[in-house]
Amino acid sequence: MKNIKLRIVYLILGSALLLFALFVLAVNVIIPSHFVTEAKKALRSEAEYQNRTVPYIYDEPDYDEDWEEGYFFTPSIVFLELEDGYRPNTWNRDAYLLEKKLLEYCAGRDITLDQCYTFKTDRHHLIFMSAQENYGDGEEPYSYIMYIDIGPITRYIVTLNWVFFAVLLAISSVMCLLGFRFGRDIEKEAERQQTFFQNASHELKTPLMAIQGYAEGIQAGVMDAGSAADVILEESDRMTELVEELLDISKIDMGRQRLTLSETDIRELLYDGIRAVEPIAA
């Protein structure tokens, strides 16, 4: 089990990037598209009302009764009067720069009446419609442009992207740090278990080698059968004790057995070790 901590970090970063991609898709594609659709609906509804083809449902709010305000962007519609085609009205000398740009954009294109169009600048996103209203009695039709600026919403969405990215980056950094430490602990535990099994295998191998050595000595006729049998029995008991110790260690790790410590003479351990390898030397 290697590089567990790096795998956890990669998994966290991948999940964070996927979440950010989904957020960007929703906020920058789905939501703006919804607002554009709502703005077009509001413009078409306003055009139908101006031409008196449908009754107007927007009215000043009466807080004593339930009322409807039409579409979401209906109150945001701006009217730009026109004279002599797409030029600012003569009395409107203080027309906004944005409206001048919009009129220049319309003057160079074939703009169809009652058709929604999109016009973008650095800070504005306009949904506009060119319309006329006929008064009858031989009077010239009244021309105007209706537009809705959803630029503040799109700028807010950009700000929201950066805020979400900053929050996600902070959370991901903390999660990566915790995941790295958690993975490191897992790797250390795996190394500890591997070392334990190696030591346990070595401890079990030592009495097995002694039993095998004494058995081969008896078979070759170089060892006394009685003394060899005693050693074989002792080493068998030692193996049994080792197995029981392994079971005890497992119980201690699980918290099912208390650890009891006692003193022992290291000379006895050395003597037992020398006697265990004596037949191999012979």
Q: Which residues of the chain have pLDDT under 70?
A: 1-2, 50-70, 83-96, 134-140
Which residues are bridge partners to 82 per DSSP? 88
pLDDT of residue 267: 92
Distance CA 65, CA 42 (A): 23
pLDDT of residue 87: 52
Distance CA 31, CA 52 (A): 31
Q: Is 65 in a helix, a strand, or coil?
A: coil
Q: What are phi and psi of 147, to 5 degrees?
A: -140, 155
Domain range annotation of the chain = 74-149, 182-281
The pLDDT tens digits for 38-87 are: 888 888 888 777 665 444 444 444 434 433 455 777 788 888 877 655 55
pLDDT of residue 250: 77
Angle (CA) 202-203-204 rounded to 5° is 90
Length of the chain (residues): 282
Residue 206: closest CA among 247, 174, 241: 241
pLDDT of residue 86: 52
Fold classification of 182-281 is: Helix Hairpins (1.10.287)
pLDDT of residue 56: 42
pLDDT of residue 266: 93
